[in-house]
Structure 1
Amino acid sequence: MFMAYRGYPVILFAPVFALLAAGLSGLPLLPTYTEVFMVKAANYVKLYFPIFLLGAVFGKMMEVSGAARSIAFGLTRTFGKNQAILAVVLACAVLTYGGVSLFVVAFAVYPFAAALFREANIPKRLIPATIALGSFTFTMDSLPGTPQIQNLIPTAYYKTTAFAAPVIGICGGLFIAVLGLIWLHMRRQKLVSRGEGYGEHHEQEESKRVEGVPPFWMAILPLICVLGGNALFTYVVLPGWYSEAELASYQGLDVKQVLGTWSLVLALVGGGLLTGLITLYQKRRTDASQHASLRLSPALTAGVMGALLAILNTASEVGFGGVISSMPGFKTVADFLLTMKTSPLVSEALSINILAGITGSASGGLSIALDAMGQQYLAWAAQNGINPELLHRIASMSAGGLDTLPHNGAVITLLAICGLTHRQSYPDIFAITVIKTLAVPVVILLALLTGWV
């Protein structure tokens, strides 16, 4: 956590500290590195690389085509300075729920957030928490069908889909969104009452072009394509698409385990192709001086490189977690969590939140926890008559809780984009994190009261 907080590369230091932990526990170093760390990391890449790759490329093409800027500008202009916080949250939410990566959303929305906050004289220190609420919370893992990786990982363990437990997910998402907005408005009033305004912040605020971007209705089509395509492939096209004879040669393949991945891959391909057409359309209607910014080749290259960095960072954290989970101490903790005299939902929420906090990664902590204890939770839930879909939703929402501790890569990047420090803005990000974490027991209680379990 300290090294990540200081900006050192996780890819390098995750194995270093994994081996340090192994050495302190008396495990042999080289076998631990090659047979535990690398195996876990490589398996994560095998499972989720297509999602990282296509998601990064899709997000980059949305950025290059101007579609992301068009959506952000359209929403912020519609709501205006009087509802600046709500406008920024909605802009982030629409982009994230449509499949654009969290980092691309932060880059795309920040310039408009800065302009709105400056015009409304809202303290700039609240921008990171506002973007975090719209990007890192309810649209990342709560709302059914969200194409973010945190909502996809449980499908492989529980044989569910990205649309698992839709009613509970929507209720949890509304809880997070409403409480988050209340907190941000309370903070705005408190800071303004003290006489604090936007402040003298200009170094990170280069103006973004909004001329020549595609119209709003066109810009939002790829997002609709990803969401609609994901549902279409999940429920209509892919179930029964391949016959048993065609799948016979793929030993051990369970279509239910990969249905979520297959559906999202095809949906992202469709969204990417549509975004490519919008880029070509933009190229035709703009003058030659703007063509360089609309070239697909650099966008594809940048997307691929971003995907490689993102998945290797997370895979290294998963490898680190794999080493930790192989130690006697972890087994003691896991046994305690699995033998708690409570619901498997509570145990699952605790274990995933803890591991997400340790790794500083929602997807990393989620993968480690489900890899180590997913089957036990599934069996425990079956004994108590709990629907696997609820296990899925609780797992996803728990991963997006304590992952946003100070060493989280998304937090560090977001603060860098905004030109702010942890001292200035992290307390409000942490408050959003607490609200997100509190949402999980509320959802569990709601499930119990409504008889979902």
Structure 2
Amino acid sequence: MSLLIVLLALGLLIVVAYRGHSVILFAPVAALLAVLLTDPGLVAPVYVGVFMDKMVQFIKLYFPVFMLGALFGKLIEISGFARAIVAATIRLMGKERAMLSIVVVCAALTYGGVSLFVAVFAVYPFAAELFRQLDIPKRLIPGTIALGAFSFTMDSLPGTPQIQNIIPTTFFRTTTWAAPWMGTIGAVFILIAGLSYLEWRRRRAAAAGEGYGQHTLNEPENETANGGAMPNAWVAVLPLVIVAVSNKLLTGWIPQLYGKTYTVALPGLAHPVTADVGPVVAIWAVEAALLIGIATVLAFAWRRVMRSFVDGSKSAIAGALLAAMNTASEYGFGAVIAALPGFAVVAHALKGIPNPLLNEAVTVTVLAGITGSASGGMSIALAAMAEQFIQSAQAAGIPMEVLHRVAAMASGGMDTLPHNGAVITLLAVSGLTHRQAYADIFAITCLKTIAVFVVIAVYLLFGLY
């Protein structure tokens, strides 16, 4: 019965997420329903002492990353830098390499710190115009953007400032540069396999005589006619490079500056505050790098940015709040579920997977698929089972950096199922339906999932991480 209660709560959350309801509202409802069915007298104490406590912990740690990432991405967009980067990439790659061009520009934006949601809005108009000129089916655009924005730069490449690569740092005391060889190998596998698949789909469509198609929904206007003068491409890409370089440098400098712990002693504090630096190094490094990136955009595009800064910053902060609260609610949900008797049954069953890396990969990717969120699913898994993963890994002599990379990549495995928020946004922006375009997104999803087990095999066979 206890297991059925856990499955009921998970099932309710996935159904409401799939139907587009607010996870902020229904995550506590689903969690407390499970508590109610277990012990009605514990509903209020668990809500305050477990759900809200874990939710607040998540917000305290990660909200600045969400906020600064959203603001940086919005500034890259309203400054015209995103448009300049897309146009320059297409010129460099050649229009005949449309899919590669779109994947490369999505990867550059997201690895440079731009939110994948912002990347979708920035790249889609150019992708649609390019595909229309080359008579490539429009239904292949979502899969192409998904490969560039939702896959290897989100969680595989070492140093990526996306939240999926940051969350594991607080559990395993690692940095965003953990297991660089595994991450790079996984990224190369996803990129080559994904591009090969998309090119195969394009050739099949061409052989069948299928072109761009007759579409009227969300078709972009001609960019060259209406977009105005674009910034210099080298200037446009500079903030992305600065964020990546700053993140790397600060990851090494922060421990040297603060040591292993830091103490805050101010007159207004009753007692000095002492905290461990290790779990927050990666978070501080990314936050500082994003601040430097924001300052760089403002320095080179002050006038263009200021024309739209008020409305743009409001929408960026609103988006950051929504994304952070969604993930924090799922984190609180996971903490409640992990405290229930039924979860002990699940944890015991997962212990039947003998290898700790396979155990972690399966657990994280399944929960990411259930919740429709890479960060949410990983947060639930690590909140509930991080200590178990760590103990098993230490017993097997597996470094924490390897656990980090496997967790990050597994979170980006089955997360892009039909109810995933990024997938729904991508299809809405493209003016396409799940029936028209989701099959290719799902293919990329499967490749991402396979990549996790590829890098695990590389580590087990060669010890390379």
Identify which of 442, 446, 449 aligns with 1:437.
Answer: 449
1:19 & 1:123 partners in 2: Cα distance?
A: 46
Between stretches 102-111 and 79-88, larger displacement belongs to 79-88
Could you tell me the percent identity over the aligned residues? 52
Identify which of 373, 380, 393 aligns with 1:381.
Answer: 393
Identify which of 189, 211, 216 aligns with 1:197.
Answer: 211
Contact 1:160 1:388 in 2 (8 A): yes
1:452 & 1:197 partners in 2: Cα distance?
A: 44
1:437 & 1:56 partners in 2: Cα distance?
A: 27
Alignment partner of 2:35: what SS? helix
Identify which of 324, 332, 344 aligns with 1:319.
Answer: 332
Q: How many residues align?
A: 442
Equivalent residues in 2 for 1:231-310 (5 A)? Answer: 231-235=248-252, 237-242=253-258, 246-247=262-263, 253-280=275-302, 282=304, 294-310=307-323
Structure 1: runs of 5 or more not aligned? 284-290
2:200 & 2:286 partners in 1: Cα distance?
A: 38
Between stretches 297-306 and 138-147, larger displacement belongs to 297-306
Equivalent residues in 2 for 1:133-282 (5 A)? Answer: 133-207=147-221, 208=223, 209-235=226-252, 237-242=253-258, 246-247=262-263, 253-280=275-302, 282=304
Partner of 1:22: 35
Offset at residue 248 of structure 1 (A): 7.0
Contact 2:361 2:410 in 1 (8 A): yes
Partner of 2:142: 128
Residue 174 and residue 243 in structure 1: after superposition, are their counterparts in 2 closer, same or farther (change >3 A)? closer
Offset at residue 100 of structure 1 (A): 0.1
What is the Cα-based RMSD across aligned positions, in Å? 1.8
2:260 & 2:416 partners in 1: Cα distance?
A: 43
Q: Give the alignment's TM-score, normalised by structure 2.
A: 0.91
Contact 1:164 1:390 in 2 (8 A): yes
Contact 1:147 1:264 in 2 (8 A): yes
Q: What amino acid does structure 2 have at the position aligned with 1:255?
A: V
Contact 2:74 2:118 in 1 (8 A): yes
Q: What amino acid does structure 1 have at the position aligned with 2:247?
A: N
2:261 & 2:422 partners in 1: Cα distance?
A: 44
Partner of 2:407: 395
Deviations 1:30-59 (A, max 9, x none): 333222222222211111001001000100
Partner of 2:9: none
Q: What amino acid does structure 2 have at the position aligned with 1:119?
A: Q
1:331 aligns with 2:344: yes
Alignment partner of 2:255: what SS? coil
1:268 & 1:378 partners in 2: Cα distance?
A: 30
2:323 & 2:67 partners in 1: Cα distance?
A: 9
2:87 & 2:311 partners in 1: Cα distance?
A: 24
Q: Give the alignment's TM-score, normalised by structure 1.
A: 0.93
Alignment partner of 1:238: what SS? helix
Contact 1:73 1:210 in 2 (8 A): no
Residue 115 and residue 245 in structure 1: after superposition, are their counterparts in 2 closer, same or farther (change >3 A)? closer
Offset at residue 334 of structure 1 (A): 1.3
Alignment partner of 2:381: what SS? helix
Offset at residue 186 of structure 1 (A): 1.2
1:395 & 1:226 partners in 2: Cα distance?
A: 24
Offset at residue 319 of structure 1 (A): 2.1
Deviations 1:326-359 (A, max 9, x none): 222212111222x335221111101111111111
Alignment partner of 1:253: what SS? strand
2:24 & 2:259 partners in 1: Cα distance?
A: 41
Offset at residue 430 of structure 1 (A): 0.7
1:5 aligns with 2:18: yes
Alignment partner of 2:114: what SS? coil
Contact 2:129 2:220 in 1 (8 A): no
Q: What amino acid does structure 2 have at the position aligned with 1:331?
A: A
Contact 1:32 1:323 in 2 (8 A): yes
2:245 & 2:188 partners in 1: Cα distance?
A: 21
Offset at residue 23 of structure 1 (A): 2.9
Residue 297 and residue 279 in structure 1: after superposition, are their counterparts in 2 closer, same or farther (change >3 A)? farther
Offset at residue 382 of structure 1 (A): 1.5
Contact 1:81 1:117 in 2 (8 A): no
Offset at residue 216 of structure 1 (A): 0.6
Offset at residue 155 of structure 1 (A): 0.8
Partner of 1:44: 58
2:56 & 2:379 partners in 1: Cα distance?
A: 13
Q: What amino acid does structure 2 have at the position aligned with 1:242?
A: Y
1:167 & 1:47 partners in 2: Cα distance?
A: 27
Q: What amino acid does structure 1 have at the position aligned with 2:462?
A: T
1:447 aligns with 2:459: yes
2:342 & 2:106 partners in 1: Cα distance?
A: 40
Contact 1:64 1:279 in 2 (8 A): no
Contact 1:144 1:165 in 2 (8 A): yes
Alignment partner of 1:204: what SS? coil
Offset at residue 437 of structure 1 (A): 0.3
1:139 & 1:320 partners in 2: Cα distance?
A: 27
1:308 & 1:269 partners in 2: Cα distance?
A: 18
2:403 & 2:27 partners in 1: Cα distance?
A: 29
Alignment partner of 2:329: what SS? helix
Offset at residue 210 of structure 1 (A): 3.8
Offset at residue 281 of structure 1 (A): 5.3
Offset at residue 398 of structure 1 (A): 0.3
Between stretches 422-431 and 375-384, larger displacement belongs to 375-384
Alignment partner of 1:195: what SS? coil
Partner of 1:286: none
Residue 130 and residue 214 in structure 1: after superposition, are their counterparts in 2 closer, same or farther (change >3 A)? same
Offset at residue 63 of structure 1 (A): 0.6
